[in-house]
Amino acid sequence: MLKRRLQNFDQKTLIRYLQAEDELQQELFQLARQAKEKVFGKQIWLRGIIEFSNICQNNCFYCGIRKGNQKQKRFQMNTKEILDCLKFIDKANYGSVVYQSGEATTDYFKDYLLNIVGITHKKYPQLGITISCGEQDFDFLKQLKQAGADRYLLRIETANPKLYAKLHPKEMSWQKRFRCLKNLQKLNYQVGTGVMVGLPGQTMEDLINDLKFFVDNKFDMFGIGPYVIHKDTPLGRDPKIQKWWQKNKEKNFNIFLNFLAILRVLLPNVNIAAATACDVFNPLGRIKVLRIAGNVIMPSVTPKDYRDKYLLYENKPNIDEGADKSFTDIVNKIKQAGLEPIFGEQGNSPFYYKRIYG
Ligand code: SAM
């Protein structure tokens, strides 16, 4: 039985299905869809994402908002702008908000983030609050939790520390990132992680180890996306990587879809978000994910004026539209796919409840 072989981490089966196409792929998708629908039915939870600052102290070799990209104009939204976004989220009845930014650990940034989380929780106590602002220390994470944050998303990027070291400068440490994830679990956050699929140098064994890492470490939610090249980064400037990426992008997107399908079979009751980067490969990329394995989507609420300044990768979709259009488009696409957008619910991970309360 395929399900059993995947759950047993049978190496041969995993390699075969990670690369599956056509009928073999449909068999996998069918299994993932069944697993997902058994827990979530056709329901899709919505989170309005506010990308509130592109100021970043890190220099990841793949990311367009890395500190070293001097072509990138920087911004940080003010409280009034955040409040306007929250008003929209409330009107749209999204159920949850995600605050995402580059990584900063200054006192100024910490005070700012604590303040907006506090305001959000006071003004909209029913709203789920997710933070995705990089590696932070234990005490600050504790303060954020006390101020009202419910969930934290911190992608490990790859479970292989050696591959991590090739994609990041030496000041950045895989172990430190992992410790931060463990701290988040200690603080009883709903903890999300993820990787990029289709990274230069990534092997099938790496992807299998990523899946194993996810299962072993009991994460509640996942934000996993395909790697997309950005020309103003060390990876994107390398002609060999440019050529490799162009040549393999379709194949890698296919592997990405298979990876998510296998993850869903392994962990039926976690939250899996459909990453925006999927729409670079296909205008219905995120919807594809929702039809196979995903149960969460994060429509952008970032004001139109800032969207072209939060470019992690090239050809980011929907940067010339506002929150209204993102809302209508996504809701229509979800319905057209025969799925059901759920309004006004936080959409917490069932895996989390089981992990915490047994
Ligand atoms: N600064 C926070 C952090 O490091 O977790 C959150 C923002 S960070 C830009 C969000 C995610 O974007 C990263 O975890 C990474 O996986 C993804 N990302 C960055 N560059 C990318 C690229 N070129 N292609 C696809 N995803 C990318």
Q: So where are the chain's domains?
A: 2-344
List average pLDDT for each run of 10 residues in the chain, which is 358 residues long: 98 98 98 98 98 98 98 98 98 98 98 98 98 98 98 98 98 98 98 98 98 98 98 98 98 98 98 97 97 98 96 94 96 98 98 94
- Tell me if 102 CB under 6 Å of ligand 1: yes
Distance 106 CA to ligand 1 centre (A): 20
- For a substitution probing ligand 1, which of 312, 313, 315 has the most ligand atoms within 8 Å of its CB? 312
Q: 138: exposed, middle or buried (C-beta count within 10 Å: 0-12, 13-18, 19+)?
A: middle
pLDDT per position as a tens digit, 18-69:
999 999 999 999 999 999 999 999 999 999 999 999 999 999 999 999 999 9
Q: What is the DSSP letter of 199?
A: -
Write out the two tokens for 91.
């009107």
First to last CA, the chain: 28
Residue nearest to atom 25 of ligand 1 (CA): 227
Check residue 212 and give its pLDDT.
98
Write out the two tokens for 127.
């709203």
Alpha-carbon torsion, ordered 197, 39, 268, 201, to 10 deg: 0
Alpha-carbon torsion, ordered 160, 165, 168, 169, to 10 deg: 160
Q: What is the 3-state secondary structure (H, E, C) of 298-343?
A: CCECCCHHHHCCCCCCCCCCCCCCCHHHHHHHHHHHHHHCCCEEEC
Residue nearest to atom 3 of ligand 1 (CA): 134
Check residue 34 and give its pLDDT.
98
Check residue 358 and give its pLDDT.
87
For 225, the enclosing helix (H) or strand (E) is strand 221-226
Q: 286: exposed, middle or buried (C-beta count within 10 Å: 0-12, 13-18, 19+)?
A: buried
Answer CATH for 2-344 from 3.90.79.10, 3.10.310.10, 3.20.20.70, 3.40.50.880: 3.20.20.70
Check residue 7 and give its pLDDT.
98
